[in-house]
A and B are shown apart, each in its own frame.
Chain A
Amino acid sequence: MDSLIVDYNYLMTASLLVIGLYGMVGKRNLLKKVIGLNIFQTAIFLFFIQGATKPGATVPVWDVRISGEAAGYINPLPHVLILTAIVVSVATTGVALALLMTIYRRYRTLEEGTLLERMKQSP
């Protein structure tokens, strides 16, 4: 528990996670679900980026003043991973939006309740 209070940023990340999850599961509007998904994924990105930081370190680009001292640079690996994860997230969002477009064109709604009704009507 202590660590959560001291590292308040993790607390923020966790709350973002929860907000995102709520958006995905709790919201009835499909578009809001996608937004929730994005919040959720962003929280995860933040989690990774936070894990990469070191006090007093700088960006992992060669610097003559620091030279080969690894402690002087932040861990670049999570950044690279998150770069990939962002691409994945963009692609997911893209596919999700494309699906929503199709759904909307077909049923003229993105509200889950109305959508289910209309799906029942048109077999």
Chain B
Amino acid sequence: MRGSLENVVVEGVSRFLVPFIQIFALYVITHGHYGPGGGFQGGVILAASIMLLRLSLGEEYEHRRFSPTLATVVAAVGILIYAVAGLLPLAWGGNFLDYAYLPIPGLSAAELRYHGILIVETGVGLVVWGTLVILFDHLMGSEP
């Protein structure tokens, strides 16, 4: 599975599909807090889009566009978002992950919870995205 399949159809179709997949992933992430979906699912779909590209366009080409290092950074940033959203309420008198205490002015507790979940789901989405790509790279890579 290394290198391009050198098949115009496969390549073209994947290039065409990937934006749609990613848009859908974003939709899944951003609607997770009030409908079916969420960070896990969206993250997986995002990762799937990257994997599709790696399979169809070849790893060497793909690694330049979305490098394994970037995947690690994405995962780490995701967890940071989660951490900040989780820990901030502590400073304002709430419990861990109690978004009602997020320091955003002008919002009621319910609204804060609503948006807090979105923030955390975004973080989770990034983590899953990054982690799955790392896993994929590790499994496909020739040498550890």
Q: Do chains A and B directly touch (beta carbons under 8 Å) in the complex?
A: yes
A-to-B contact residues, CB < 8 Å: 59, 61, 83, 87, 90-91, 94, 97-98, 101-102, 105
Chain A, residue nearest B144 (CB): A102
Tell me if A98 and B40 are in contact (CB < 8 A): no
Whether B35 pairs with A101 at a CB distance below 8 angstroms is no
Q: Let me know if A61 and B35 touch, CB within 8 A.
A: yes
Which residues of chain A have C-beta atoms less than 8 A from B139's C-beta?
Answer: 94, 97-98, 101
A-B contact count (CB 8 A): 21
Interfacial chain B residues near A101, Cβ < 8 Å: 138-139
Please tell me if the beta carbons of B138 and A98 are within 8 angstroms of each other in the complex.
yes
Residues in B neighbouring A61, C-beta threshold 8 A: 35-36
Residues of A within 8 A of B40 (CB): 83, 87
Interface size on B, residues (CB 8 A): 12
A83–B131 CA distance with the chains assembled, in angstroms: 17
Decide: B135 and A98 in contact? CB cutoff 8 A. yes
Contacts of A90 in B (CB 8 A): 132
Contact residues in B for A87 (Cβ distance below 8 Å): 40, 128
Least CB distance from B106 to A in Å reads 25
Cβ-defined contact, B36 with A59, below 8 A: yes
Residue of B nearest to A94 (CB): B135
Residues of A within 8 A of B36 (CB): 59, 61
CA distance A73 to B31 in the complex (A): 20
Nearest 4 pairs between A and B by C-beta? A94-B135, A98-B138, A97-B139, A98-B139
Q: How far is the CB of A108 from chain B (nearest CB, A)?
A: 15
Which residue from chain B places its CB closest to the CB of A84 in the assembled complex? B40
- 19 A–B pairs (Cβ distance < 8 Å), ordered by A: A59-B36, A61-B35, A61-B36, A83-B38, A83-B40, A87-B40, A87-B128, A91-B131, A91-B135, A94-B132, A94-B135, A94-B139, A97-B139, A98-B135, A98-B138, A98-B139, A101-B138, A101-B139, A105-B143
CB distance from B27 to the nearest CB of A (A): 16
Distance in Å: Cβ of A61 to nearest Cβ of chain B: 6
Q: C-beta contact mask, B129-142 vs A, less than 8 Å → 1, else 0?
A: 00110010011000
Specify the chain B residue showing the minimal Cβ separation from A86. Answer: B40
